Each structure stands twice: as C-alpha cells, then as structure tokens.
Amino acid sequence: MELKSLVKISEYEWEIPQKGSMRVPGRIFASKKLIEEMDEKVREQVTNVACLPGIVRASIAMPDAHWGYGFPIGGVAAFDPDDEGIISVGGVGYDISCGVRSLRTGLKREEVEPVLEELIDELFHTIPAGVGSEGKIKLSVSQLDEVLVGGARWAVAKGYGFPEDLEYIEEKGCLPGADPKCVSIEAKKRQHRQVGTLGSGNHYLEIQYVAEIYHPEAAEAFGLELGDVVVSIHCGSRALGHQIATDYLKVLAKASKKYGIPIKERELVCAPIRSPEGEQYYRAMACGVNCALANRQVITHLVREVFAEVLPQARISLIYDVSHNTCKIEEHEVNGKMKKLYVHRKGATRAWGPGRRELPERYRHVGQPVIIGGSMGTASYILVGTKEGEEKAFGSACHGAGRTMSRHQALKRWRADKIIAELRKRGIIVRAKSKRGLVEEAPEAYKDVIEVVEAAHRAGLARKVVKLLPMGCIKG
C-alpha cells in the first residue's frame, strides 16, 4: 500500500481521509513496514466499508489486514441501528465464529516432552481433521437445532465438559438471539456430523509452552507461568457457517436493492439492521456462532480424554475462548453516550479492557485475554485488552499473522516433506491429513506474527502478556 495515500497519526496509526461518499474516515493500525506490505486492495476495501449507512467513528483495519470478500480480513466496523445502520455478510465472513480456545494443562514443558510424539499421535487419531471431516456425534435436524440455540452450553449439558468451562467463553458459551428457523436445511444437512471436528485450511490444534512473560500481573490472572504447557484450538462453524454465508449473500443482495443501499463491491451486500432480512441474517449468524462454540467445546472434551490416557496428571482448564468472525451487539461510548452498536469483526478479535462486567471475575481487573495464533511453526501470543483499544477500535485487536501469499503461490514454492523435516529439526512435531493443506499453510506464507503483535501492542489495542512457542501441531 502506498503511504502517500494515508495520513500518519502516529507510528502505528494511519488514516484514510474522509472524502467522496465516505461517511467516516478509514483507520489502519500498523507499522510502516506492515502498511507497505499490504495490498492496495486493503485500502480500497476499508474505504468501501466507510461508505456504508450507519457506520460509526471509522472503518478500521488491524495490523494483520489483507484482502478479503467485501471487508478486508482484519476489518472492524460498528453500525448504529438508530441511524440506518446495516448488517453485512462480508463483515463476518464465511467461517462464522472461527476462533481460538486456549487451555491450561497444569503441566510443564519437561513433563510433556518425553511423551510428545505419543501425545500428538493420539490427538491426531482422536480429533477428526481435514476437508469434510466427520466426528462420532451424529445429529438429526432437530438435535442440531438444539446445538444452534445452546452452543457450548448444549455441549456441557451433554457431558462434553464442565459448567465452569462456560465462564471462560465469550457470551458464556451461547450467543443470544439464535433462531434455527433462519438456517437452511442445506446448511443443517452439511453439519449433521461435523460437531467436534477441526476442519482444514488454517485451522489447527497446537501444543505450546510459555516462552516469555511480558505482563506478570495479567499472566498471573490468566494462570500462566514460564514453561507451562498450553493447548490451543483454532476452528469455527465448519460447513454450517459457510452455507449460512452463501445463503444470505443472495438474501442481502436483494435487500440492498430493495432498500436502495449503494454497494461498492458484490460481497458488501447488506440490509438495515432492523429490516426483516437484517434480523434474519443476525439470527442465522448467531446460530453459526453457537455451532462453533459447541464445536470447540466438544474438541476440548476429546483433548481431555487424550491427556487422561497419555498424561493422567494433567488438569485441563480454559484460559479463554474468543472468536474472530462475528457481529456482536455491544455497548460502546459514542459522542459521550453509551450506545448499542452492531460490531462487525472479520479476522479481528474482541479485546475488551478491564472493568467490563461481561468478563470473568478472575480477569476483570486486568482485561480480556486476546489470543493471537501464529502460523504453523511460529510463535503465538496471548495479549490483554485495554481501555485505549476500546476507544480506538471498539475493543478490537488482530487475530493472527495474516497471509502475504496465496495458497496457490505457496503450492508452487514448498513441499510438504521439506516443511515437516525443517520443523522436526526445531523440535516441532507436525501431523497433517493433507500434504496439500500443509503446504498451503507454510509459515512463510504469512506475515511476521512478531511484527503484527508488536504493532497491536504499540498502537494500544492490546498489551502483550505471554509468548507461546509450538511443540507439536495438528493440521487438517
């Protein structure tokens, strides 16, 4: 992206000036290096989002932003339902509620390393992964409807976890407002055996250890010390979320024309929040969120079962579960008044600062854990939300490293056996269902996660708490 098209606010904050049909300015949080690496399409998409009705304050992009459908991936925008605000499929994405859940194990690195290969193999054989992967849970349409309404609460009620798990999941494990009648039969049919599966693409399950601590107070609140082993699960709503997005792109395309909303890009189709179409999409999207929360809860149960066999002294508990492809109804201050806004985060993580009543009591004095996944073989991070980030970006931060190379380009450049061997030399064990999928997710196909996290930290969006390094990784 050309710097001359931006106004520099600070070393880590840049503005796209409001002009033409833009209702608000654009705002990009990134270092100079990350800005220069961004495709020009990111600037274009941030600008297009700034033209949508009811947008509040700014159209925002995170440090890991890259080109997406409609919104950039790493895009954040809040809309006011009292001021013609809209809801957009492009602002949520296809993998509804894709997110990361991190678990404490109660174990140290030196306890796990002697049995690491056995542990990774057992996890790989127990947790279904890969394109179209199916689990042991087979649900009828009516049973799946219970999942779509209940989310992780449904899973816990069925024995997949403990009630205390719910305290450490966004929305306490269930997003209100879900209505299965707004989800197509096709979407439900595609999902009936996918609860408790990892999926493919950039999804993973990773064994990690705490390598560095930057914020001792927050690390203590999160129950983390140097050398602690952590399990991170990255996946979403699987086929159901994808089908909901596909279905509602058509619905909202008609709604955009019906309500006379000018659209700059096909995937930016939208509907007024308070229109029948807008309400239906929100209810369907909430079903997708709950499906993802149930999915990660069931996978957590499977992780517990494997650890009980291989390392019975383990005590698996949730650090946090946070999504990064959602639209949430949240209260934020606008012009000195608290307002309910519809906050779209696409490839962006909620990052609330201290004091929010929605946070677990254990974390309320420091803020919300913000889990930033690295690319396979690189570092991941846990940050903590800030009040400054709430003011600047509606309490949002980046969600990962962000791609710099297409999957097609990656396939031309690397071989699976070479990636596995190089990671093995570094002591990282990798298991993958697909060699193609492994190559598409090569670490070098992503931005430098250290640079991305540092930009979020320096911009004040969230503060670094701990650095996690990988020991083993499972890919679809």
Q: Is 399 annotated as ligand-binding?
A: yes
Q: Is 475 annotated as ligand-binding?
A: yes
Q: Is 402 annotated as ligand-binding?
A: yes
Q: Is 365 annotated as ligand-binding?
A: no
Q: Is 1 annotated as ligand-binding?
A: no
**Pick from 166, 171, 223, 219: which is nearest to 366 by CA?**
219
Beta bridge partners of 463: 384
Active-site residue, from 192, 332, 399, 457:
399
What is the phi-psi region of residue 335: left when phi exceeds 0, alpha when psi lies from -120 to 50, beta otherwise? left
Q: Is 374 annotated as ligand-binding?
A: yes
Q: Is 130 annotated as ligand-binding?
A: no
Q: Is 335 annotated as ligand-binding?
A: no
Q: Is 380 annotated as ligand-binding?
A: yes
Q: Is 66 annotated as ligand-binding?
A: no
Q: Does 365 participate in catalysis according to the annotation?
A: no
* Exposed e or buried b per residue across 273-311, where buried means at least 16 C-beta atoms within 10 angstroms of its C-beta: bebebbbbbbbbbbbbbbbbbbbbbbbbbbbbebbeebb
Q: Is 121 annotated as ligand-binding?
A: no
Measured CA to CA in angstroms, residue 369 lies from 385, 397, 475 at distances of 7, 11, 24
Listed in sequence order, the residues at least 6 apart from 289 whose beta carbon sits closer than 8 Å to its beta carbon are 96, 97, 151, 171, 175, 178, 237, 323, 326
Q: Is 145 annotated as ligand-binding?
A: no
Q: Is 346 annotated as ligand-binding?
A: no
Q: Is 48 annotated as ligand-binding?
A: no
Annotated binding residues: 95, 202-206, 234, 324-325, 373-376, 380, 399-402, 475
Annotated binding residues for GMP: 202-206, 324-325, 373-376, 380, 399-402, 475
Annotated binding residues for Mn(2+): 95, 203, 234, 324
Return the active site residues: 399
